[in-house]
């Protein structure tokens, strides 16, 4: 019962159902009763979702597109009404949902601050007192006097977040909006998250940034196709999410949910394939397949920093090749090549390739890159005498996400260990060690 008293948000068996029509006229026919039959299909955006969020927790909600993440936040904040089920909220909520929510596009920034404050129940005098803090955090200069319809997405989210955190919320809800801000503003926002956590406030946020989920959340809920698959620690749920992507998440047969492997959209997301892949080569060898596996051997496009992972490629030789070289490299999204290696450097394969042979190549290593998005390139090359030849090269073939709760400076983590000692105590101990044996001898 004591735990019950700490609940900030209680969601019980919530459903949100939409009617989908193939054609607009079907909606009209059904409304008028023509034909005496239903012309719609039911779509469950949420199907019996229950969750308790406790006071002072920072909770993340993750899942693929269309899993119901934004829908559940809108129902919690009252933007949407559920088709069934109950939601109870204990505390003042401040929500930062999709851009534009709660703002009048014709009003300027100042006017929208007062509009939002009034909607939250504050008097003009109270908003007057909060205005300097809001403007200081937003830091958009004289643009606050311009209509918000002229704002960039970054300026808009700065103002919206500044309003959301400065109206003294007990519960802060954020839906992916921070992804449009610049890196310095994002750091500023996450620092505010830390302050809120220390103050005992409750934070719920949806994000595709698994590194942020891992770093800031105490607990994570995993949604898929409107159903709650589970909740637990960030690491557990991120691992489960990776299995969902490749259709390897075990779902009870009596749940009524289809095997996730049948979903082509999820399969494509799991493969992380680049639709604008660039490839070239002489064609004397061909990369037939390529993918990553994590430390459990599961195919994935998300690797947790500090864990072991493997790059795989399957190669078929079409001609006799005296010394084929297999290679891979990582670039950041700006196109800078970060790291990579090949079988010649590693002295791992120094044999000829014969026509018709198929080889499976596996590079296994520890992930030391910082959290973020990377592009993986692969290839098969070799030498014809002194001439270097590219048999098959694939540029930016896979999009890889590195999940990290600790990012250091630069591109990779040196995995340093740190020891701090008190100088005076250390010197005193050293003097003691030197003096005492001498005194004993005397």
436 in Cβ contact with 415 (< 8 Å)? no
Mean pLDDT of all residues in 92-114 = 81
The whole-angstrom separation of Cα 341 and Cα 79 is 51
Minimal CA–CA distance to 319: which of 342, 353, 296?
353
The whole-angstrom separation of Cα 329 and Cα 311 is 10
Find residue 309's DSSP bridge partners. Answer: 365
At 211, is the secondary structure helix, strand, or coil?
Answer: helix
pLDDT digits (tens, 9 = 90+) for 287-310: 999 999 999 898 998 899 999 999
Find residue 11's DSSP bridge partners. Answer: 51, 87
The whole-angstrom separation of Cα 44 and Cα 257 is 12
Q: Per DSSP, which regions of 238-357 are E strands?
A: 278-280, 285-293, 299-300, 302-304, 308-317, 325-332, 337-342
Residue 108: CB atoms within 10 Å: 17
User: ∠ CA 251-252-255 to the nearest 5 degrees?
Assistant: 100
Share of the chain above pLDDT 90, in %: 39
Best CATH choice for the domain 2-91+170-245 from the list 3.40.50.300, 3.20.20.70, 3.30.750.200, 3.40.50.410: 3.40.50.300
The whole-angstrom separation of Cα 110 and Cα 220 is 36
* Residue 261 DSSP one-character state: G
H/E run at residue 396 = strand 387-403
- Cα-Cα-Cα-Cα dihedral of 153, 158, 159, 165, to 10°? 140
57 in Cβ contact with 202 (< 8 Å)? yes
pLDDT digits (tens, 9 = 90+) for 340-383: 999 999 998 888 999 999 999 999 999 999 988 899 999 999 99
Q: Which CATH architecture has domain 278-403?
A: Distorted Sandwich (2.70)
- Among the listed ranges 85-89, 206-210, 265-269, 316-320, which one has the minimum average pLDDT value? 265-269
Q: Higher pLDDT residue, 99 or 170?
A: 170
pLDDT digits (tens, 9 = 90+) for 41-99: 788 899 999 999 999 999 999 998 889 998 999 999 888 999 999 999 998 888 877 65
Strands 302-304 and 299-300: unpaired
Phi-psi region of 106 (alpha: psi -120 to 50; beta: other; left: phi over 0): alpha
The CATH 3.40.50.300 portion of the chain extends over 2-91+170-245
Q: What local confidence, expressed as pLDDT, does residue 423 receive? A: 87
The whole-angstrom separation of Cα 371 and Cα 64 is 19
Q: Per DSSP, which regions of 136-280 are E strands?
A: 171-175, 202-206, 219-224, 227-232, 278-280
The whole-angstrom separation of Cα 270 and Cα 265 is 9
The CATH 2.70.50.60 portion of the chain extends over 278-403
The distance of Cα 4 from the centroid of its chain, to the nearest Å, equals 30
The whole-angstrom separation of Cα 213 and Cα 207 is 7
Query: Above 50 in pLDDT, residue 265?
Result: no
pLDDT digits (tens, 9 = 90+) for 5-38: 589 999 999 999 988 777 776 676 766 666 666 6
The overall average pLDDT reported for the chain is: 83
Which residues touch 401 (CB under 8 Å, ≥6 apart)?
A: 210, 301, 302, 303, 372, 373, 374
């Amino acid at each position: 019962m004591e735990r019950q008293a700490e609940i900030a948000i209680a969601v019980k068996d919530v459903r949100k159902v939409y009617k989908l029509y193939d054609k607009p006229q079907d909606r009209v026919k059904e409304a008028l009763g023509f034909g005496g039959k239903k012309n719609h299909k039911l779509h469950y955006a949420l199907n019996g979702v229950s969750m308790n969020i406790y006071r002072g927790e920072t909770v993340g909600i993750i899942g693929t597109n269309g899993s119901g993440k934004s829908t559940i936040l809108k129902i919690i904040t009252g933007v949407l009404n559920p088709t069934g089920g109950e939601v109870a909220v204990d505390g003042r909520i401040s929500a930062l949902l999709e851009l534009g929510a709660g703002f009048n596009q014709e009003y300027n920034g100042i006017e929208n601050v007062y509009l939002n404050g009034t909607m939250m129940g504050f008097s003009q005098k109270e908003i007057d007192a909060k205005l300097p803090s809001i403007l200081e955090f937003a830091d958009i200069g004289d643009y606050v006097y311009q209509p918000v319809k002229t704002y960039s997405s970054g300026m808009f989210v700065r103002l919206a977040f500044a309003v959301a955190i400065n109206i003294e919320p007990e519960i802060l809800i954020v839906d992916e909006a921070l992804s449009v801000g610049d890196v310095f503003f994002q750091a500023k926002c996450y620092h505010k998250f830390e302050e809120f956590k220390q103050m005992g406030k409750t934070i719920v946020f949806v994000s595709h940034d698994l590194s942020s989920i891992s770093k800031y959340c105490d607990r994570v809920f995993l949604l898929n196709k409107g159903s709650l698959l589970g909740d637990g620690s960030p690491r557990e749920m991120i691992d489960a999410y990776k299995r969902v992507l490749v259709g390897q998440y075990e779902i009870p047969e009596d749940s009524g949910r289809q095997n996730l492997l049948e979903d082509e959209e999820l399969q494509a997301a799991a493969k992380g394939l680049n639709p604008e892949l660039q490839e070239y080569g002489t064609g004397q060898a061909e990369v037939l397949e390529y993918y990553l596996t994590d430390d459990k051997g599961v195919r994935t496009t998300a690797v947790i920093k500090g864990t072991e992972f493997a790059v795989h490629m399957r190669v078929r030789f079409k001609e006799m090749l005296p010394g084929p070289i297999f290679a891979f490299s990582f670039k950041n999204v700006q196109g800078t090549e970060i790291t990579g290696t090949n079988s010649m450097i590693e002295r791992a394969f120094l044999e000829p390739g014969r026509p018709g042979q198929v080889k499976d190549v596996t590079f296994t290593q520890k992930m030391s890159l910082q959290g973020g998005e990377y592009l993986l390139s692969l290839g098969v090359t070799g030498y014809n005498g002194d001439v270097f030849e590219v048999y098959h090269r694939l540029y930016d073939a896979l999009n890889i996400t590195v999940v990290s709760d600790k990012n250091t400076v630069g591109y990779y983590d040196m995995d340093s260990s740190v020891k701090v000692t008190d100088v005076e105590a250390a010197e005193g101990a050293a003097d003691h060690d030197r003096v005492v044996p001498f005194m004993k001898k005397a």
